[in-house]
Amino acid sequence: MLAMSTLGIVLLVILAVVLIAVIVLYILGRKMQKKQAQSEEQMEAASQSMNFFIIDMKMMKFRDANLPKIVMEQTPKYARRMKLPILKVKVGPRVMSLICDPKVFNTLAPKQEVKAKVSGIYVTSAKRIRGPIVETDPKKRKLQKKEEKKAEKAQKKAGKEAQKVK
């Protein structure tokens, strides 16, 4: 009898702790959502329209992205290790690196002229002006890149064989 009552008490304590943790996480999640919505509104207000040509696009670590020093200093240390979608673009005569929204990054391709909304160095939306049409499904896009690499290898191999014949 004594073991059953202590077991019941332990289970009730565990249940109470889990319930409190869920409530705290819910409250924190709501606050984070409000902060994110507010920051998105500020970014939208500060955004401007730009036309640029995408030279290259990669997922790069923050420190390898060739971003301004002020940006590096203002980012938290944990974020410096993350990989970000980076666009290397040509705006007029200048070549610069921009951070891209992941949703927008999947719809773009290199060697493409784009009209985009940019807030500071962050690309929030983009629309293709000229250039190739891009498959928006990431899985299909990966397959497309693999096929392109295979085609390049085949061309190189054919070129080497042609040189051997001469």
* Closest by Cα among 113, 87, 112, 115 to 101: 87
What is the model's pTM? 0.61
Which residues make Cβ contacts (< 8 Å) with residue 68, sequence separation at least 6?
121
3 state SS of 133? coil
Helix (H) or strand (E) holding 48: strand 48-61
pLDDT digits 0-9 by tens, 64-106: 888 888 888 888 888 788 888 999 999 989 999 899 988 888 8
CATH of the domain at 60: 2.40.50
pLDDT digits 0-9 by tens, 148-161: 778 778 887 777 77
* Closest by Cα among 33, 84, 20 to 57: 84
Burial of 134 (0-12, 13-18, 19+ CB in 10 A): middle
Q: Residue 149 in contact with residue 85, Cβ under 8 Å? A: no
Domain residue limits at 109: 48-139
Residue 96 lies in a domain: yes
Residue 17 lies in a domain: no
Task: Tally the domains of the chain.
Answer: 1
